[in-house]
Protein backbone atom coordinates (compact mmCIF):
# COMPACT_ATOMS: atom_id res chain seq x y z
CA UNK A 1 0.00 0.00 0.00
CA UNK A 2 1.31 3.43 -0.95
CA UNK A 3 1.15 6.27 1.57
CA UNK A 4 1.76 9.93 0.87
CA UNK A 5 1.09 12.78 3.30
CA UNK A 6 2.03 16.17 1.84
CA UNK A 7 0.25 19.52 1.78
CA UNK A 8 1.11 22.89 0.23
CA UNK A 9 -0.86 25.97 1.29
CA UNK A 10 -0.50 29.66 0.48
CA UNK A 11 -2.44 32.27 2.39
CA UNK A 12 -2.36 34.94 5.09
CA UNK A 13 -1.72 34.54 8.81
CA UNK A 14 -4.95 34.90 10.78
CA UNK A 15 -3.19 35.83 14.02
CA UNK A 16 0.27 36.67 15.28
CA UNK A 17 2.39 33.53 15.59
CA UNK A 18 2.63 32.18 19.15
CA UNK A 19 5.98 30.73 20.23
CA UNK A 20 5.94 28.22 23.09
CA UNK A 21 8.43 25.71 24.44
CA UNK A 22 7.93 22.06 25.33
CA UNK A 23 9.00 20.76 28.76
CA UNK A 24 12.29 19.78 27.12
CA UNK A 25 12.84 23.33 25.85
CA UNK A 26 12.02 22.64 22.18
CA UNK A 27 10.43 25.69 20.52
CA UNK A 28 7.14 25.28 18.67
CA UNK A 29 5.29 28.06 16.86
CA UNK A 30 1.54 27.94 16.26
CA UNK A 31 -0.37 30.13 13.83
CA UNK A 32 -3.49 30.16 11.72
CA UNK A 33 -3.60 30.41 7.94
CA UNK A 34 -6.50 31.67 5.81
CA UNK A 35 -6.53 30.34 2.24
CA UNK A 36 -8.91 31.83 -0.32
CA UNK A 37 -10.84 29.32 -2.39
CA UNK A 38 -12.50 30.66 -5.52
CA UNK A 39 -15.49 28.74 -6.82
CA UNK A 40 -17.59 30.05 -9.69
CA UNK A 41 -19.11 33.24 -8.25
CA UNK A 42 -18.54 32.58 -4.56
CA UNK A 43 -15.27 33.19 -2.81
CA UNK A 44 -14.81 31.00 0.24
CA UNK A 45 -12.00 30.88 2.78
CA UNK A 46 -10.52 27.80 4.43
CA UNK A 47 -8.75 28.12 7.78
CA UNK A 48 -5.88 25.89 8.92
CA UNK A 49 -3.98 25.58 12.19
CA UNK A 50 -0.25 25.21 11.57
CA UNK A 51 2.67 24.31 13.83
CA UNK A 52 6.35 24.76 13.07
CA UNK A 53 9.08 23.30 15.27
CA UNK A 54 12.57 24.33 16.33
CA UNK A 55 14.44 26.95 14.26
CA UNK A 56 11.68 27.13 11.67
CA UNK A 57 9.15 28.02 14.37
CA UNK A 58 11.44 30.63 15.92
CA UNK A 59 12.02 32.26 12.54
CA UNK A 60 8.30 32.52 11.81
CA UNK A 61 7.59 33.93 15.28
CA UNK A 62 10.34 36.54 14.88
CA UNK A 63 9.52 37.76 11.36
CA UNK A 64 5.82 37.21 10.65
CA UNK A 65 2.66 38.83 11.99
CA UNK A 66 -1.10 38.71 11.46
CA UNK A 67 -2.02 39.36 7.83
CA UNK A 68 1.38 38.45 6.35
CA UNK A 69 1.32 36.19 3.27
CA UNK A 70 3.18 32.89 3.57
CA UNK A 71 3.51 29.60 1.72
CA UNK A 72 3.65 26.45 3.85
CA UNK A 73 4.70 22.95 2.84
CA UNK A 74 4.27 20.16 5.34
CA UNK A 75 2.19 17.20 6.42
CA UNK A 76 -1.21 16.59 7.99
CA UNK A 77 -1.30 15.32 11.56
CA UNK A 78 -4.37 13.82 13.24
CA UNK A 79 -4.68 14.36 17.01
CA UNK A 80 -7.18 13.11 19.58
CA UNK A 81 -7.64 14.09 23.22
CA UNK A 82 -10.17 14.08 26.01
CA UNK A 83 -11.71 17.46 26.87
CA UNK A 84 -12.28 18.64 30.45
CA UNK A 85 -15.92 17.62 30.22
CA UNK A 86 -14.85 14.06 29.34
CA UNK A 87 -15.83 14.22 25.67
CA UNK A 88 -13.48 12.93 22.99
CA UNK A 89 -12.09 15.55 20.62
CA UNK A 90 -10.08 15.25 17.41
CA UNK A 91 -8.42 17.64 15.01
CA UNK A 92 -6.30 17.68 11.86
CA UNK A 93 -3.38 20.14 11.91
CA UNK A 94 -0.61 20.96 9.46
CA UNK A 95 2.99 20.46 10.64
CA UNK A 96 5.22 22.75 8.55
CA UNK A 97 8.48 21.45 7.08
CA UNK A 98 9.20 24.40 4.78
CA UNK A 99 7.83 27.94 4.58
CA UNK A 100 8.35 30.71 2.08
CA UNK A 101 7.83 34.29 3.17
CA UNK A 102 5.85 35.99 0.44
CA UNK A 103 6.14 39.72 -0.20
CA UNK A 104 3.33 42.23 -0.28
CA UNK A 105 4.45 43.79 -3.56
CA UNK A 106 2.19 44.80 -6.42
CA UNK A 107 0.73 42.09 -8.59
CA UNK A 108 2.07 39.25 -6.46
CA UNK A 109 5.69 40.43 -6.88
CA UNK A 110 7.87 39.43 -3.93
CA UNK A 111 8.96 42.87 -2.80
CA UNK A 112 11.50 41.34 -0.42
CA UNK A 113 12.75 38.88 -3.03
CA UNK A 114 11.17 35.96 -1.19
CA UNK A 115 12.74 33.92 1.53
CA UNK A 116 12.51 30.19 1.94
CA UNK A 117 12.97 28.49 5.31
CA UNK A 118 13.26 24.78 6.05
CA UNK A 119 13.04 22.98 9.35
CA UNK A 120 16.61 22.60 10.59
CA UNK A 121 18.15 24.95 8.02
CA UNK A 122 17.39 28.15 6.15
CA UNK A 123 18.21 29.52 2.74
CA UNK A 124 17.42 32.86 1.20
CA UNK A 125 16.71 33.34 -2.45
CA UNK A 126 16.75 36.76 -4.07
CA UNK A 127 14.67 37.32 -7.16
CA UNK A 128 16.69 38.26 -10.20
CA UNK A 129 15.24 40.88 -12.46
CA UNK A 130 15.91 40.61 -16.13
CA UNK A 131 14.91 42.80 -19.02
CA UNK A 132 13.56 46.30 -18.66
CA UNK A 133 12.81 47.81 -15.26
CA UNK A 134 9.22 48.28 -14.14
pLDDT in tens, 26-77: 999 999 999 998 775 788 899 999 999 999 999 999 999 999 999 999 999 9
Quote the CA–CA distance of 33 and 54 in Å, as a whole number: 19
Looking at 3-41, which runs of residues are DSSP E strands?
Answer: 7-13, 18-21, 27-39
- Regarding pTM above 0.85, the answer is no
Continuous segment of H or E residues that includes residue 63 = helix 54-63
pLDDT digits 0-9 by tens, 82-96: 999 999 999 999 999
Q: Say if residues 29 and 51 touch (Cβ distance below 8 Å).
A: yes
Domains present along the chain, CATH in parentheses: 7-123 (2.40.50.140)
Quote the CA–CA distance of 97 and 4 in Å, as a whole number: 15
pLDDT digits 0-9 by tens, 118-128: 655 443 333 33
Amino acid sequence: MVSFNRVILAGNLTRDPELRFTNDGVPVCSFGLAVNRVRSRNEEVDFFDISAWRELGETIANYKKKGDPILVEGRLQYRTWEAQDGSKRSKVDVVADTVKFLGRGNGGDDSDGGSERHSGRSTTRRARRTGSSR
